[in-house]
Amino acid sequence: MSDSKQEQYPGVVMPKCEPLKILKNQKALVTGANSGIGKAVAIALGEAGADVVVNYRSGEDSAQEVVDKIKQFGSKAIAHQADVSQEDQVGTMFKQMIQEFGTIDILVNNAGLQQDAPFDQMTLQQWNTVINVNLTGQFLCAREAVREFKRRGVVSEVSNAAGKIICMSSVHEVIPWAGHVNYAASKGGVMLMMKSIAQEVGPYRIRVNSIAPGAIRTPINTEAWSTPEAYDSLMQLVPYKRIGEPEDIGRAAVWLASDLSDYVNGTSLFVDGGMTLYPGFATGG
């Protein structure tokens, strides 16, 4: 975090210890990896030793920056342009990944967007766009990953599991969100999709989990943190009294992708500073 951010919003000190190469020899694909949370996750997986495909829909330069950063850790990385809501583009992306890297061990289904509107003004296009990217996009990528995990099975020198899928959900998989009905519906859908896939493919030693972030400082929600007034108002919702940084999610993803979490399957890991703890009840109720 830069000094200026520290001054404005004190209280964030990231651990400085050397990261373990706990994902060495693993191949990861992170969708929407040229911005925000996906970028931090891709870099954290690369730092932990994984080779990474950096998916992006637009913004080749920013995807290339992520690739360059991952290569500095000695891991391989390639950028791949694809819209996760398009079945043919997802199929091509997985084929190319398997050609380049041989297989996939870790999928991080991160790509997502918001198109907000009051409910009675929400267009079908806004509804469909959010569902198509946030939910159907995760289905399409997870299906390709599971096909490869089942084909290859467990390689015990690489991981105890045949594969790991991490779905980027949100606290809005459980917290209703007025004005964002399409987004909350997509994340609620991700929750039961994740759990149902986990139940179905667990016997193949495939682990499927979600990370449910709270308020993380990224371009998706700039208006919620970019002024001191907005930040103070946001903090009413966060018992831990700081905004999350994308790196907070990166570290959670490394753990969920690694054998350190080998018995964790079908769970949503809330990384939210306590946003789901009904903060209004700290003083009310």
Any contact of residue 175 with ligand NAD (CB under 6 A)? no
Determine which residue in the list 28, 32, 46, 94 makes contact with ligand NAD, applying CB under 6 A. 32
Characterise 187 by phi-psi region: left (phi > 0), alpha (psi -120 to 50), beta (else).
alpha
Nearest CB to ligand NAD, comparing residues 102 and 179: 179
Angle (nearest 5°) at CA 185 between 189 and 200: 5
How many angstroms separate the CA atoms of 26 and 38, rounded? 18
Any contact of residue 37 with ligand NAD (CB under 6 A)? yes
Nearest CB to ligand NAD, comparing residues 58 and 156: 58
How many angstroms separate the CA atoms of 33 and 57, rounded? 9
Q: Exposed, middle or buried: residue 268 (CB in 10 Å: 0-12, 13-18, 19+)?
A: buried
* DSSP letter for each residue of 171-198: GGGTS--TT-HHHHHHHHHHHHHHHHHH
Task: Report residue 119: phi and psi, to 5°.
Answer: -55, -45
Any contact of residue 112 with ligand NAD (CB under 6 A)? yes
Catalytically annotated residue among 9, 183, 204, 263? 183
Q: Is 204 a catalytic residue?
A: no
Determine which residue in the list 27, 28, 29, 36 makes contact with ligand NAD, applying CB under 6 A. 36
Any contact of residue 250 with ligand NAD (CB under 6 A)? no
Q: Are 81 and 57 in contact (CB under 8 A)?
A: yes
Determine which residue in the list 49, 213, 250, 273 makes contact with ligand NAD, applying CB under 6 A. 213
Q: How far is the CB of 2 from ligand NAD (least distance, A)?
A: 18
* Total number of residues that touch ligand NAD (CB under 6 A): 28
Instruction: List the alpha helices (DSSP H) in 55-180.
Output: 60-72, 87-101, 124-131, 137-152
Q: How far is the CB of 120 from ligand NAD (least distance, A)?
A: 23
Site string for ligand NAD, 132-171 (x = CB under 6 A): -x---x------------------------------x-x-
Determine which residue in the list 26, 28, 35, 195 makes contact with ligand NAD, applying CB under 6 A. 35
Residue 265: strand, helix, or coil: coil
Percentages of the chain per state (helix, strand, coil), in multiples of 5: 50, 15, 40
* Of 225, 276, 256, nearest in space to 110 by CA: 256
Nearest CB to ligand NAD, comparing residues 106 and 162: 106
Whats the size of the chain, residue-wise?
285
Q: How far is the CB of 24 from ligand NAD (least distance, A)?
A: 26
What are the catalytic residues? 183
Where along the sequence are the contacts to ligand NAD (CB under 6 A)? 31-32, 34-38, 55-57, 83-85, 110-113, 133, 137, 168, 170, 213, 215-216, 218-221
